[in-house]
Amino acid sequence: MDLYQLFKTRRPIIGVVHLLPLPTSPRWGGSLKAIIDRAEQEAVALASGGIDGIIVENFFDAPFTKSQVDPAIVSAMTIVVQRIQNLVTVPIGLNVLRNDARSAIAIASCTQAEFIRVNVLTGVMATDQGLIEGEAHQVLRYRRELGSDVKILADVLVKHARPLGSVNLTNAVEDTIERGLADGVILSGWATGNPPNPEDLELASRAAKGTPVFVGSGASWDNIATLMQAADGVIVSSSLKRHGNRHQTIDPIRVSQFVEAARSNFNSKGQTESISSLKLHS
């Protein structure tokens, strides 16, 4: 996976748009317009602050189904992605929680989004939704059937979960890449807002052998320099919210602060970076 080709930078910073509860989810509020309006505002805030990519995620649909989501959720996320694409030029990705990679591939393929995040691509994880089994064979075959080139970023030992059996991070990374055919891997802490262990990032980077490794949670302007010593990119959300509260909206000032901290770290290593542009809808 060529990060520069996709994100126009070799060290991408990917922000997340957490969608308000979607139709059929337990806390659905009845207004798709409210969901779209907030998503558009957050996407613009992320892009104008220098983020290199955006993941659209049904974060507030909890409690999640462990696999296939309702068709209404797929429809709503498709609309949101299209609306965001009218406003920003950065690459868009999908994460359909908890683990509906087929729907994410379908939405991305139909909207020409560039990538998806999959929580469990290989192996078996014990989660609050029950046991989730990776279905890499179905996901990769479905991508081929659609004639799609959507990139797959896959979590390794995903947050809010525990693997069945003993934990071997090196083997998990190797299996995700070599047997699951992931285009990139993601390493997170135990829960939302918790960073991964820097030593684990180094181990994962060695095991990945050139496949991009992303920090998947817990990044802030205080720890980004440490975390990016071994990682190739970062996915960030909670730190960019007002007061650092994941339930709040994206704060443009915090986005700029995070991007500045990350870029200064990248540039100190001699990396050539480009700030992604914003295209306002006329």
Least confident of 84-93, 177-186, 262-271: 262-271
Given this model, what pLDDT does residue 280 score? Answer: 39
Least confident of 7-21, 35-49, 218-232: 218-232
Given this model, what pLDDT does residue 2 score? Answer: 94
Name the pLDDT band for 277 (thresholds 50, 70, 90): very low
Given this model, what pLDDT does residue 160 score? Answer: 84
Pairing of strands 124-127, 115-118: unpaired
- What is the pTM assigned to this prediction? 0.91
Q: Are 153 and 185 in contact (CB under 8 A)?
A: yes
Given this model, what pLDDT does residue 250 score? Answer: 96
Pairing of strands 130-133, 184-187: unpaired
Inform me whether the pLDDT recorded for 275 exceeds 60: no
What are residue 17's DSSP bridge partners? 56
Q: What is the per-residue pLDDT across 159-175, written as a single tens digit (0 to 9) for each?
A: 788 888 767 899 999 99
CB count within 10 Å of CB 142 equals 16
Given this model, what pLDDT does residue 276 score? Answer: 41
The encoded tokens of residue 228 equal 């990016």
Q: What is the per-residue pLDDT across 85-132, written as a single tens digit (0 to 9) for each?
A: 999 999 999 999 999 999 999 999 999 999 999 999 999 999 999 999
Inform me whether the pLDDT recorded for 187 exceeds 80: yes
Mean pLDDT for all residues in the chain: 91
Answer with the residue of higher pLDDT: 266 or 182: 182
Strands (E), the chain: 13-18, 53-57, 92-95, 115-118, 124-127, 130-133, 151-155, 161-163, 184-187, 213-215, 233-236
Q: What is the per-residue pLDDT across 55-83, written as a single tens digit (0 to 9) for each?
A: 999 999 999 999 999 999 999 999 999 99
Averaged pLDDT for residues 237-242: 93
DSSP 186-233: EE--SSTTPPPPHHHHHHHHHHHTTS-EEE-S---TTTHHHHTTT-SE
